Amino acid sequence: MIYRETTLKDAWLIELEPRGDERGSFARSMCREEFLQHGMAGDYVQQNTSVSAQRGTLRGLHYQIQPYAEAKLIRCIRGAIVDVIVDLREDSPSYLQHEAFELTDRNRHQLYVPPGFAHSFQTLVDDTEVSYLVSAPYTPHAERGLRFNDELLGIVWPLPVSTMSDKDRAWPLIDERVEKLF
């Protein structure tokens, strides 16, 4: 695997290194020891799969508060997405900054999202499937989110939003919050 630093502290874009022969190819997509060497979570407790039927579907921006914060390892296994992460760690030099990454079934890139980040993605094509490992179990009372169109974040989505959950549309704006983000 090739580990590429991002503009956001502790987040990584990971490129697989497939090895091929007449059968096809093989590549490692997760290695505990390598992840730990890069300061990443090495243990994951669940794997989630998301299937979106329609191009323009937006999911997120989701995160869990302490002590249930989770690292995620995101990969698009069918179709294409733009994945957006936001650093919510107040002591980080990249606090409230975001970065976008195109993850597709063709480029096979993965995105490591550290604890303390909000995560979201928008599908670029119909019938897109995303799979991700999570380092902490889903804990409903610890779930939080950011509004996808919060002007304070200034995220420019590549497509108009075609589909989104009511919950994701209703997350409060950062300026309206009474509790700390993370």
Catalytic residue at 44? no
Catalytic residue at 112? no
Pairing mode of beta strands 12-15, 2-5: antiparallel
The beta-strand segments (E) located in 68-115 are: 72-78, 80-87, 98-104, 110-113
Residue 176 burial (CB count, 10 A): 9
Catalytic residue among 62, 98, 109, 119: 62
- Identify the residue whose tokens are 């690292």: 71
* Alpha-carbon gap, residue 73 to 15, rounded angstroms: 12
Residue 87's beta-bridge partner residues? 117
Contacts 24+ apart (CB under 8 A), 66-69: 66/182, 68/136, 68/137, 68/139, 68/142, 69/115, 69/116, 69/136, 69/182
Q: What's the angle, vertex CA 128, arms to CA 60 and CA 64, rounded to 5?
A: 25
Catalytic residue among 68, 112, 132, 138: 132
Catalytic residues: 62, 132
